[in-house]
């Protein structure tokens, strides 16, 4: 049997198939993505099977592009001989609110509750839920399992989740939730298998287009930089991170609408906004424009500033890990961040740091370092597959 994991975006869909055996998820045997899922557009399907990469294109004339993509996916799964049967589809859902802290099998009643939370994650929640609906239509009779990015942070204390707002507002669910939880759940699992310090004071850095930090003790989240929304905390690819609310009032007074503010904070800020060039760290590192350097330096500074707060919540630090597209692939950034925390006794092994690859969980600190430093390639897909398997007891 196998679990199909999916992550739906506004115009894209990522998927992987994980075989299962005796209650465990095995490495993915097929993975890929659809890009360009827009009405009237040309959709690109890229996938890898048995180490071979494939690409094809198709146009949708009379069908919803998302439904058309899933029909192509269904045909592909039938064409490839030897694939184990799909017993469940597991979805990453960004926001579970104050109610959903464990994976659940999708029902109409649950989806209705999750739709009501769309304002809490406007760039992610609607597309994820559209994906659940589409998969239910194209793969009828197969359980749709929902895994929540907020669930890992359920162990945070009321002090960490509370906002200093009137009770009539916080009673509506306005509080700090935290995100990237599926990634952090995978990362801490890898660390628990790899390091004797992983149950002590751990700081996990998920650094990509979306970026956050999570402080954990005994493998449980006690604090994180993202809060009520995925805008809080670190500067990101196109998101602002923490921002004085007075800035928003200033912009409203000058005529900014809700939609303009949303576009500004989610799509036009962060590395892109500061550099005016790109949200891609690789492009910024190769660009001689001083604004590119400024954006990178600010990104690192924000990690130091927010990281200091997380370390204070922990009462010290025993281990720091790097994950995500930037955290896994950029040794120079890892080195720069570690230098900001040299006062903690961090000592990086630069040869190991440069040699770290996205396939391998690796300690990159020296034996003398007071704080262990790890690179942990995250895998949200295998985590959601395992959650689905645990829930359905196949």
Q: Is 254 annotated as a binding residue?
A: no
Does 380 appear as a known binding residue? Answer: yes
Nearest 5°: phi and psi at 222?
A: -115, -15
246 is in an annotated binding site: no
In 10 A of CB 261, how many CB atoms?
14
Annotation-wise, does 363 bind a ligand? Answer: no
**207 assigned binding-site residue:** yes
| C-alpha to C-alpha distance for 41 and 50, rounded to whole angstroms | 29
Establish whether 352 is an annotated binding residue: no
Q: What is the 3-state secondary structure of 152-206?
A: HHHHCCHHHHCCCCCHHHHCCCCCCCCCCHHHHHHHHHHHHHHCCCCCCEEEEEE
329 labelled as ligand-binding?
Answer: yes
Where is 372: in which H helix or E strand? strand 372-375
State the catalytic residue, choosing from 149, 318, 330, 379.
Answer: 149
- Three-state SS for 122-138 is CCCHHHHHHHHHHHHHH
Does residue 64 carry a catalytic annotation?
Answer: no
Buried b / exposed e along 194-217 (16+ C-beta atoms within 10 A)? bbeebbbbbbbbbbbbbbbbbbbb
Q: Is 92 annotated as a binding residue?
A: yes
Report whether 4 contacts 86 (CB < 8 A). Answer: yes
Distance CA 298, CA 304 (A): 10
Give Cα separations from 210 to 50, 150, 191, 262, 327 (angstroms). 30, 14, 22, 16, 11
99 assigned binding-site residue = no
**Binding-site annotation, residues for substrate:** 92
Give catalytic residue positions. Answer: 149
Residues annotated within a binding site:
7, 14, 92, 206-210, 280-282, 325-329, 380
């Amino acid at each position: 049997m196998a679990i199909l994991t999916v992550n739906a975006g506004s115009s894209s869909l990522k998927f992987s198939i994980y075989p299962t055996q005796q209650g465990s998820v095995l490495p993915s045997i097929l993975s890929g993505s659809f890009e360009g899922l827009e009405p009237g557009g040309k959709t690109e399907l890229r996938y890898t099977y048995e180490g071979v990469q494939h690409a094809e294109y198709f146009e949708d004339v009379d069908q919803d592009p998302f439904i058309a993509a899933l029909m192509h996916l269904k045909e592909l799964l039938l064409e490839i001989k030897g694939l184990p049967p799909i017993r469940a589809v597991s979805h990453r859902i960004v926001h579970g609110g104050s109610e959903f802290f464990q994976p659940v099998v999708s029902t109409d009643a649950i989806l209705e509750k999750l739709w009501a939370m769309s304002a809490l994650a406007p760039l992610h929640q609607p597309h994820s839920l559209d994906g659940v609906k589409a998969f239910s239509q194209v793969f009828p009779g197969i359980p749709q399992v929902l895994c929540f990015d907020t669930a890992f942070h359920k162990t945070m204390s009321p002090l960490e989740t509370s906002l200093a707002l009137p009770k009539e507002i916080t009673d509506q669910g306005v509080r700090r939730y935290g995100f990237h939880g599926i990634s952090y759940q995978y990362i801490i699992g890898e660390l628990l298998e790899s390091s004797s310090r992983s149950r002590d004071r751990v700081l996990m850095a998920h650094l990509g287009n979306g970026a956050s930090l999570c402080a954990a003790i005994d493998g449980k989240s006690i604090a994180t930089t993202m809060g009520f929304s995925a805008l809080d905390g670190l500067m990101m690819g196109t998101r602002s991170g923490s921002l004085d609310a007075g800035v928003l009032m200033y912009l409203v007074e000058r005529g900014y609408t809700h939609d303009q503010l949303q576009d500004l904070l989610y799509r036009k800020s962060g590395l892109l906004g500061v550099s005016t060039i790109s949200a891609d760290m690789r492009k910024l590192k190769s660009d001689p424009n001083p604004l590119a350097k400024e954006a990178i330096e600010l990104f690192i500074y924000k990690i130091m500033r927010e990281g200091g707060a997380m370390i204070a919540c922990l009462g010290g630090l025993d281990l720091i890990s790097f994950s995500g597209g930037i955290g896994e692939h950029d040794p120079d950034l890892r080195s720069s961040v570690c230098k900001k925390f040299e006062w903690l006794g961090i000592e990086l092994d630069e040869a190991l740091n440069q040699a770290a690859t996205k396939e391998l969980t690796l300690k990159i600190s020296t034996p003398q370092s007071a704080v262990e430093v790890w690179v942990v390639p995250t895998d949200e897909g295998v985590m959601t597959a395992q959650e689905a398997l645990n829930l359905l007891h196949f």
